[in-house]
Amino acid sequence: MTEWIDFVVYAVQVLLFWVFLPRQGRQFTLPTIADRNPDWLAGHRDVAARIESSRAGQHACYVWAAVTLATLLAVALDLVSTPFGTHGPKWEVLKDLHSMFLIVGVLLCGAWTLLWLRWVGTHVPLAATRQATLKPRVMSDYLSWPWRVIVEALTVLHLGAWIVVGALGLAGGVKYWSAFAFIVGMTVLFGAIAALTPRRRPGFPDRLFGDDYRRTELMVAYGLRLTPLIPGGMVISEQAFGLDPDRVGNLLLVSAVSAFILAFLRLRPLAAAPIPKFGAEPRVNA
């Protein structure tokens, strides 16, 4: 399999993560503050104007995307030597570089987000009156019965395959059963996330996107429940059949994450957020 397939898969995720998500996300900054306290936002027009005109975070994400893509492309074209003195096939070098740039970028973005949330929590008080709905929320309101049955069946078959392979003596030992325990833990964790998602208290995204947001959130949560099948299949293939599925498994995992991002990017607001454009006051001719 050519390394250009790896490059394209990684490039798609880089563009989704560091270009399209920041571009769509920044338009919800002021509506988020307005949802917390519209009176505060209306009384601080200068702060709102600075926030609306700021592009620092968005441009930083664009720069990170450019650096990541340039490095991956240079390695794919053999324009630079293997970074950090690593050795191995080119697909593995691309995988490690992509993972490194993604992890570092997520950590930096997470720190930026925490600082932003701290600023909002410190300077923007909660409004005296909040709206909430008492409508009960259950999973059947958002996901069809066949989709849930398919996910449950694949989960049971996957865990059953581990037990059968071990019972038949095709694989075993501490490494195998430790990996099985890890897979069970992932399955339980993602199952709990999917079960708790309908019970989550509504927030600004729910008011902005309506039921489509929670429906998308649940679809992604149920998609996460299937991700243990990827490392699970990789370990079983390696232990039982002596295969080396790391490359394909990693590409499948990256593609799954990209699909999750696309699901959220497809969301559209129910209506334009009622946030005025904050700028210079219009001059009135006497």
Per-residue pLDDT reduced to its tens digit, 12-24: 999 999 999 898 8
Which stretch of 62-71, 111-120, 181-190, 242-251 has the lowest confidence by average pLDDT? 242-251
Residue 7 above 90 pLDDT?
yes
Residues 151 and 216 in one domain: yes
Structural domain contains residue 20: yes
Structural domain contains residue 283: no
pLDDT, tens digit, for every residue of 265-286?
A: 888 777 544 454 544 444 444 3
Among 128, 163, 190, identify where a domain stops.
Answer: 128
Structural domain contains residue 161: yes
Residue 261 above 70 pLDDT?
yes
CA distances from 280 to 49, 53, 173, 284 (A): 9, 12, 70, 12
Structural domain contains residue 277: no
Residues 93 and 144 in one domain: no
Residues 154 and 63 in one domain: no
Percentage of the chain beyond pLDDT 90 is: 15
Between CA 184 and CA 189 the distance in angstroms is: 9
Q: What is the mean pLDDT of residues 35-42?
A: 84
Among 128, 160, 179, identify where a domain stops.
Answer: 128
Q: Which residue has the higher pLDDT, 142 or 113?
A: 113
Residue 87 above 70 pLDDT?
no
Total count of domains within the chain: 2
Residues 105 and 148 in one domain: no
Rounded to the nearest integer, the mean pLDDT of the chain is 81
Structural domain contains residue 278: no
Q: Residue 247: its pLDDT value, please?
A: 76
Tell me the pTM: 0.70
Residues 106 and 139 in one domain: no
Residues 81 and 167 in one domain: no
CB 97 within 8 A of CB 91: no
Residues 268 and 139 in one domain: yes
Burial 103-133 (b: 16+ CB within 10 A, else e): eebeeebeeeeeeeeeeeeeebeeeeeeeee
Residues 155 and 120 in one domain: no
Structural domain contains residue 159: yes
Residue 214 above 50 pLDDT?
yes
Among 128, 156, 186, identify where a domain stops.
Answer: 128
Residues 116 and 143 in one domain: no
- Residue (of 4, 5, 8) closest to 77 by Cα position: 4
Between CA 29 and CA 276 the distance in angstroms is: 13
- For 142, the domain range is 135-272
Residue 27 above 60 pLDDT?
yes
Residues 225 and 111 in one domain: no
pLDDT, tens digit, for every residue of 115-171?
A: 988 888 888 888 776 555 555 566 777 777 887 888 889 889 888 988 888 888 877
Residues 124 and 143 in one domain: no
Structural domain contains residue 286: no
Give the list of residues 6+ apart from residue 174 with CB closer than 8 angstroms, or none.
none
The pLDDT-based confidence of 65 (bands split at 50, 70, 90) is very high
Q: Estimate to the nearest angstrom the gap between the alpha carbon of 26 and the chain centroid.
A: 16
Residues 85 and 206 in one domain: no
Q: Indicate the helix (H) or strand (E) that contains 283.
A: none
Torsion angle (degrees, nearest 10) of CA 129, 135, 136, 138: -110
Structural domain contains residue 201: yes
